[in-house]
Amino acid sequence: MSADEPRKSLPRARGRAWRVVLGLISMLVIVAVFAAALFLRPFASLVDRAAVGSSAVTNEVSTEQLQAYCPSRMDLVDTEAYGDSEFQVSTGNVASSARYAAFGSVYRAQVSPLGPDYATDSETLADQEDGDVLTLAGDVDDGARVMDTRLLASENGTGSAASVVSWATEGDIQGLSASTCVVPSLEHAFLLTDTQSGVTQQLIVANPTDRATAITIQAWGTADGERLALSTGNTMTVDAYGEASVDLGAAASGQDGVYVTLSSDETPVAAVVRTVRMDGLTARGSDYALPVDAASRGAMLPGVREGDETAVEVFGESDGDVTVYWVGEDGLTQAAQGTVSANRVAVFDLQTAPEGVRGVFVDASTPVAAGARIQRSGGDGQADFALVRAAEPAASSAVVLPDGVDGELTLMNDSSASARVTLHAYDADGVEVDERTVTLDARSAQSLAVADLEGEARMLTLDDEDAAVGWGVRLSHPDVDDAGLAGIAYLGATALTPVRETVSARNDQSIVR
Amino acid sequence: MITVEEDLRFLPDTIRAVLGQTVLPGVIVVIDCTGRTDRPLASSFTVEPAHAHGAQGRRADTVSVRLVGVKGARSFSDAVAKGMRRVDLDPGTKALWTLHDDSRPAHETCLETLLERWRYTPTASLLGAKQVDWGGGNLHDVGTYAGRHRLESLVVDGEPDQEQYDGRRDVFAVSLAGALVPLATLDSLGGVDPWFGTFAESGDFCRRICLSGGRVVVVPEAEIAHRRARYEGVRSRSGEPIDEDAPASAAMAVLEARQRYYYTDIRMGWWPLLWVLRLLRAVVMALSRLSRKQPYVALCELLMPWRALAMFPTAVRARRIVGRQSKVPLSRLSVLVASRQQIARWRDRMQAFRDQQGSVVLDPLAKAHLRRRLLRRWICAAAAAVLALAVVLATYWDVCRAALSGGSLTGASMLPTDAGFLRLLEAATTSWTLGAGTGAVAPPTPWLLVLAAASVLTLGNVAAATVLVFVSSAPLGVLSFWALAGVFTRSDAVRVTCALLWFSLSFAFGLYGSANLAMLTVMTFLPAAFAFAFRAVGMYHTEEPVRPHHSVQAAALSALCFIPVVAAEPQLLLPLVATFLAFLLFVRRHRATLLLIPLPSALVLAPTLVNAVHHAPEGAWRQLFGDVAVPTSETNGVPAALGLADLAARAFGVDVGSGWLSWLRAPQVVSFLVLAMLAVLTVLAVVSLFLPFALRVSRMMWVTTVCGGILCLASARIVVGVDADGAVAGSVLPGMAMALLGVLSCVCLVAGGAIRRFVALRRPAARPGDEEDVDVRSTVVAVARALLVVLLAAAACLWAGYGIAGRGDGRPGVADGGLPMVAVDYLEQSPDHRILALSAESGSRISYASMSTGRGDVIEVSTAQRAQVASGQRPASDEAIASAASRLLANADSQAVADIAALGFGGIYVVADGGSENAVSQLMANITASNGTQSVVSNASGTYFRLTLVDTLTQGVDLNGQQAVSASPWRYAWLWCAGIVTALYCIVALPRTHRYNQEEA
């Protein structure tokens, strides 16, 4: 130490003992504090939190460029050819058809396959001289398609809608499946049916932009209110102009109903879920599940008919009471009543729909997401089901029917006043062939067969000033019916209202280097 | 008359000397000034004359001894006067022999000589004796002469007595200690005026004697050995004894006494003018004292004019007395006045004497030994510094070479810069940040001052200054830790390897890889600051014949070295203050020196501290934990409660999971080895706590380590900013650097003192066995030290290698791109021009930046701004820009362009390589399609659009806020205070040229 240290006369023995004791005590204190800091993690709750979750500011901007993703035709998850040919799964004679339409003041709309040929290989929607609907018909046998629409103005009655339908009379996916085309977004939520054995829920995520992105998936089931631990992990990446899929039935198996959310890191993505049910070797139906809209206290599920086996799934983020009603032309009839627990899917099995039913209405005390599964049986134990999404009323909406299917409209009014709506029908060339005005009583539903409309109606739009009516089209295919098989599908209405997009802006001083 | 107070150390010698005189005084009065003696005590003894050779028979005489107590004596003469009144003196008493309790007659004929001289010079009004020091050999003064309103003794205080002044007779003034005071003089002049205090009353009394025609005579043959207890600081003002090893400073009392004498020597009418002149003089004298490393005396000088103001009322009375008794003008007494030449010669002699005093006289062998050690030491240090510089240059040669061609250094943690020197100065001193929208009020980033200082070295080129900081931090860091290691051990090998280990720590932390210039500044200056702090209190090892001593100059250097450390990482201020408080406990002496060290750092950081405290409820205190490096959740992590081991793994860039002892499961072998080496060094540091020869120092450095560790723990829990993924925690690197500083210092302590013993001439050993024992022990110690050196060298290589190759972080780069020339020209035209840069990352994500220089600039970084964003507050202009940018990404929107132009931007620059090509082309198409834009230039890195909605002459952001902040009086007050204090510290820190001293590094 320094030369000041006692080289002078030795201190008294007492002073020396005092120094030793002090030295020992100080050493012990220092070592103890250091060891505690090294290994312990005290005050785990004293962690600072930021008031905002990200440095980016999100703004909702209205956009005049729309995109829609049309899934490819119904397929099975794995088509491995192993084992006895009797036990091999096959898609049989599955076929598909699609129709794309753009309504209102549209600059240009085109359809491109999702893949490496995205930029080069596109077909443009065309219109007739006097039609104000641009349309294109095709199929999705080769893969998914993306429709890009550029609008001239963002107003009610302007927008795009498209649908795909696939059917098969042989193989393991006998029946009819239909889906409207999905708008890409940064987040999606799905309310799926059960994931018991025999059910595959294949989630397909498509990225129609030129930047790869990572997807985070979270799922909640029926057992408890905790998040499910997915056995396939909860992240996946999707390439630019590509698709990726994961089997949610394998990831979150054994549930009676699953609520799935997925969020994308970088770019908006589109997602659908292909649900296929098999009972041993018997096909029990297939359909596309589409993302649910924002939760609300009341949900309209049109398209139910007498004799359908109906089940309703409800999911809410907080506890509440739920009442399910059958809706017909005369009004509401209570079908079931129960509670929904927070973060837990509640399933209401309504058995067979009685006579006069046109749809189901779900009334809840807390905001919930709701969906219905309607099932019909055919010959030899075959059955087919359709997944009905909650219908969102809008000032102007459209349903586009692909070639080959027949449809039956259902209009539902869940408000306490009667509603008056105008239905326009267009044929395959985009020419308007019929116009009807329909008046609906409060809390009632009406149905109307498409075949009853004038001309060959392929595209339908509904003008509803008060935005009180929800509607959809229940589909059936003559080929499937002729084969004695059950085949039902449902197409919900696509809103033709100004679209708002969420853009996040971030202050970053390092972008110019 | 002997006065005595609480301190009784010198009284026995004085009384013994008085009783041993050949001529005894008739009455010996001991005046007790403590007031404890209530009743006077009397005694007497008879003196039998010894059989003196040839003396006539003398009769036996009685000497009476009285002990009286007085209370409230203000000075020596006051005590004597009061004592006189309490003692009834014999009317035949003609004179008093006044003695302090610490002034003893140096030989037995003192009184006899004085009396004899008085008999031969009956006209003498006062007879004084020669004042020598307590040992009797060195002179204090032999009477004083009159100078310009002061007294000049013309005797060098402390020079040996060779009877060179024994020819003096009549002088202007003598000291009253040991003086023979005739009572007639006292009566005629009305006594000594106690108002002047003990130091000046004799001067005033003698002045009055001389100016009224009397004679003051000094008797050099009579010597009084005077301890001058109060003057030399071994007695406090109230009379308590003070330990002789730690004398207090009597500067205040001495200066006050001189001031009183000065003012009473001049007519009262001149006093106001003189007071103003002396006020200016006080400032000059204070600066001069500071340059002589005497800060306390400087403070006393500054206070003198104010004490003069306080004393004026009472000085009037003293002056009147002097005036009334002055009959003879001083010009007639030219013999008693010291001439200018005499004073000049005296000053020279004093300077030579002082020069001689400070140096340790060394013989040639010792000097040669010291010179050899000096050469060897500095060669080792220089070699290590050159090695470090070579490593950095070799690893980043392309970066250095490219930077010399005009680009600015940039890295994962560091934004580039394109600012000029004046812009940099403005950003460093104004509480305005340019990076938030069109600007917001936020305290300036302190590290920019360091960058400005570096830019002065590169003659104003800021971009080159960043490279200078990057490259020079290597050799300077090595040298500064080498200096710190020298405080704990003198072994060259251990010092050099430890310094290189500290340098390799910069690599292991990834500081060079990510160009984290703020942390590099800390790593450079922190060890030097600690080294100087230890030197300031004298707790350091030196070479053998030289002794360590405390040094105010080192304290000033330490304070100056702490300024860049705290400016680069303000969070270090908190553990440094805590460490200093702990140091105050451990340091034996010179505590006051330590207290002044944090002052300049606190002043430089003042705007940040004031803002943090003022807006603390809004979360502004978080800015203390940020720094100029870019915070990302990959490097800093998410705020979480972690232990120190996890944070050490994070600092070294090793990815471990959470959980107890998870750092044992480091993914790669190299990472595991790095952490294992850290554990070994920590264990060695714990061992240092057991060393008996380094008890204090080891605990001091361990307190540093623990404080650094606690800062790590705190910093990892605090949010300093938000990035795209969420909250970002503060950086753990500053706390970890401080903790590792303590650990490495303790490892140096384990190496032992290792002072090369200086043996002038080898002597044969007393017994042969001794030599062997000593040899064995020294061999063991040498081997152990060599092993330690090998371990440290291996650790340095491991950490450096890991940092260069194994860490996997990025490399620093050189940013020489930026906005196109047209845009940069536009920005340089006026300080209120701005350009908005946009980068479209995807169809729904866009980034924006408000550019005031050609590149995304480091001068626009503000930790306060980041803390505000984390607390959810954004300036309105920021929100407006975000909204307009979002709208432009989605559609062609003329209103968005109009909003941007209304904020004051003159152009939009779209970065071409932002992310998604589609999104970028969509954004450019949207901007082109909107009204009010005009594409000016487009190249591979981006497109620049000019906004045509607002006239070019009136375009510009609103500078009112910036000007208001810039002209604010608080800003000027801060700048002036910080500047003056730093300049004062620099004056104290400057090396003095004409003192040749042997104190070594």
Q: Is some CB atom of chain B closer than 8 A to the CB atom of A62?
A: yes
Q: Total domain count for chain B?
A: 3
Question: Whose CA is closest to B224, among B8, B14, B9?
Answer: B14
* pLDDT attached to residue B842: 84
Low-confidence ranges of chain B (pLDDT < 70): 49-59, 358-361, 544-545, 656-667, 754-774, 808-809, 914, 993-1001
Token digits of residue B592 = 């006051």
Q: Which two tokens stand for residue A110?
A: 């085109």
Let me know if residue B588 belongs to a domain: yes
Once rounded to an integer, what is the mean pLDDT over residues A49-71? 86
Give Cα separations from A2 to A6, B546, B760 (angstroms). Answer: 9, 11, 22
List beta partners, residue A406: A476
Q: Taking a C-beta distance cutoff of 8 angstroms, is the pair A468, A413 a contact?
A: yes
C-alpha to C-alpha distance for B523 and B497, rounded to whole angstroms: 16
Query: Are residues B470 and B578 located together in one domain of the fold?
Result: yes
pLDDT of residue B400: 84
CA distance B735 to A37: 13
Residues 6+ positions from B806 with CB-CB distance below 8 Å: B668, B670, B671, B674
- Asked if A47 and B641 come within 8 Å (Cβ–Cβ), the reply is yes
Separate counts of helices (H) and strands (E) for chain B: 33, 24
| E strand or H helix at B474 | helix B462-488
Q: Which range, of A379-388, A496-505, B60-69, B446-455, averages the lowest pLDDT?
A: B60-69
B272 domain residue, yes or no: no
Note whether B465 and B453 are within 8 A (CB).
no
Q: What amino acid is encoded at B775 in this protein?
A: D
* B129: in domain: yes
Q: What's the CA gap between B396 and B404, in Å, rounded?
A: 13
Of B812, B658, B685, whose CA–CA distance to B746 is shortest?
B685
Sequence-separated (6 or more) residues with CB below 8 Å from residue A217: A203, A230, A234, A235, A236, A246, A251, A260, A261, A262
Quick one: CA dihedral A55, A60, A65, A67, positive or negative? positive
The answer to whether B698 touches B689, Cβ cutoff 8 Å, is yes
Residue B665 lies in a domain: yes
> Distance between CA B658 and CA B675 in Å, rounded?
16
Which of residues 186 through 225 in chain A touch B, CB cutoff 8 A?
Answer: 186, 209-211, 213
Q: What is the pLDDT of residues A204-213, one digit of tens each?
A: 999 988 888 8
Provide the token pair at B264. Answer: 């009473």
Average pLDDT of the segment spanning A35-46: 81
User: Would the pLDDT of A475 be above 90?
Assistant: yes
Hey, of B585, B845, B909, B998, which one would you mutate to test binding to chain A, going by the most A CBs within 10 A of its CB?
Answer: B845
3-class SS letters over A377-398:
ECHHHCEEEEEEECCCCCCEEE
CA distance B88 to B284: 52
Of residues A39, A210, A503, nearest to B890 (C-beta): A503
Which pLDDT does position B770 carry in this prediction? 57
Distance CA A286, CA A418 (A): 36
> Does B791 share its domain with B847?
no
Q: Which of B479, B480, B466 is nearest to B518 (CA)?
A: B466
Please give the Cα distance from B143 to B154 (Å, whole number).
9
Number of Cβ within a 10 Å radius of residue B570: 26
CB-based contacts of B977: which residues, under 8 Å, 6+ apart? Answer: B603, B606
- Same domain flag for B451 and B595: yes
Check B726 against A53: CB less than 8 A apart: yes
Say if the Cβ atoms of B717 and A210 lie within 8 Å: no
Residue A274 forms beta bridges with which residues?
Answer: A202, A288
Per-residue pLDDT, B763: 62
Question: Cβ–Cβ of A2/B870 closer than 8 Å?
Answer: no
Q: Are residues B126 and B28 in the same domain?
A: yes
Do B490 and B598 lie in one domain? The reply is yes
Tokens of A146: 């993306």
> How many Cβ atoms from other residues are within 10 Å of residue B939's Cβ?
9
Name chain A contacts of B911, Cβ cutoff 8 Å.
511-512
What b/e readout covers B7-18, taking b as 16+ CB neighbours within 10 angstroms? Answer: beebbeebbebb
Pairwise CB contact (< 8 Å): B641 & A43: yes
* The residue type at B502: W
- Cα B63 from Cα B49, distance rounded (Å): 13
CATH code assigned at B211: 3.90.550.60
The verdict on B18 and B49 lying in the same domain is yes
Which chain A residue has the Cα nearest residue B922?
A65
Which residue among B538, B706, B843 sits closest to A267, beta carbon to beta carbon? Answer: B843
| Helix, strand, coil percent content, chain A, rounded in steps of 5 | 10, 50, 40
Query: Of all residues in chain A, what percent carry a pLDDT higher than 90?
Result: 40
A26 is written with which tokens? 């100080």
- CB contact burial B193-206 (16+ within 10 A = b; e otherwise): bbbbbbbbbbbbbb
Chain A: give the shortest CA distance to residue B908, in Å. Answer: 12
pLDDT value at position B998? 38
Q: Would residue B254 count as lying in a domain?
A: no
Query: Are both B506 and B611 inside the same structural domain?
Result: yes
Asked if A501 is an interface residue toward chain B (Cβ–Cβ < 8 A), one would say yes
Q: Which two tokens stand for residue B807?
A: 């860490």
Q: What is the DSSP letter of A419?
A: E
Is the confidence at residue A1, as pLDDT, over 70? Answer: no
Q: Mean pLDDT throughout A470-499?
A: 91
Percent of chain A with pLDDT over 70: 96
Q: Which chain A positions have a beta carbon within 8 Å of B870's beta carbon?
A: 50-52
* pLDDT score, position A11: 55
Give the pLDDT of residue A229. Answer: 82
The tokens of B17 are what?
A: 């000397």
Residue type, B652: F
* Residue B999, min C-alpha distance to chain A (Å): 14
pTM here is: 0.76
ipTM of this predicted complex?
0.73
Contact A99, A137 (CB under 8 A): yes
Pairing outcome for strands A320-328 and A270-279: unpaired
pLDDT at A489: 94
Residue B347 placed within a domain: no
| Amino acid, single-letter form, for residue B1 | M
Q: Give yes or no: residues B825 and B791 share one domain.
A: no
Test B719 with A39 for CB contact under 8 angstroms.
Answer: no
Instruction: Select from A54, A506, A512 the Cβ nearest to the Cβ of B911.
Output: A512
Domain edge (last residue) among B248, B275, B300: B248
Point out the domain boundary residue: B772, B806, B840.
B806
- B406 in the same domain as B514: yes
| Partner B contacted by A57 (CB < 8 A) | yes
- Out of A5, A44, A511, name the one closest to residue B849 (CB): A511
Query: Looking at the DSSP assignment, which residues form a beta bridge with residue B44?
Result: B64
- In whole angstroms, what is the distance from residue A22 CA to residue A43 CA? 30
Q: How confident is the model at residue A449 (pLDDT cuts 50, 70, 90)?
A: very high
CB contact under 8 A, A52 and B870: yes
B794 and B896 share one domain: no
Q: How far is CA B283 from CA A91, B287, B290, B863, B975, in A?
A: 100, 6, 11, 39, 20
Whether B307 is covered by a domain: the verdict is no
User: What pLDDT score does B969 carry?
Assistant: 92
Please tell me the predicted confidence (pLDDT) of residue B996.
Answer: 43
> Which residue among A3, A23, A44 sits closest to B695, beta carbon to beta carbon?
A23
Q: Look up residue B235 and give its DSSP letter.
A: B
Contact (CB<8Å) B641/A54: no
Classify the C-alpha dihedral B32-B36-B40-B41 as positive or negative: negative
- Boundary (domain end) residue, out of B215, B248, B281: B248
Residue range(s) defining the domain that contains residue B614: 368-759+781-806
Chain pair A-B, CB pairs under 8 angstroms = 233
- In this complex, which of A23, A213, A507 lies closest to B848 when CB atoms are compared? A507
The reply to whether B21 and B139 lie within a common domain is yes
Helix (H) / strand (E) element for A58: namely strand A56-62
- Asked if the model's pLDDT at residue A332 lies above 60, the reply is yes
Secondary structure tally for chain A: helices H, strands E: 3, 34
β-strands A357-377, A309-316: how paired?
antiparallel
Q: Which residue in A190, A401, A203 sits closest to A290, CA to CA?
A: A190
* Interfacial A residues in 252-291 facing B (CB < 8 Å): 266-268
CB contacts of A503 in chain B (<8 Å) are 844-846, 886-887, 889-890
State the pLDDT at residue B999. 37
Q: Tokens for A444, please give them.
A: 């009632």
One domain for residues B624 and B528: yes
Q: How much is the pLDDT for B919?
A: 87
Structural contact between residues B674 and B802, judged by C-beta atoms closer than 8 angstroms:
yes
Six-digit token string for B114: 């004085």
Q: Which of A178, A173, A96, A174 is nearest to A141 (CA)?
A: A96
How many CB atoms are located within 10 Å of the residue A21 CB?
Answer: 10
What SS3 class is residue B544? coil
- Specify whether the CB–CB gap between B612 and B621 falls below 8 A: yes
The pLDDT score that the predictor gives to residue B634 is: 82
Answer whether residue B274 is part of any domain: no
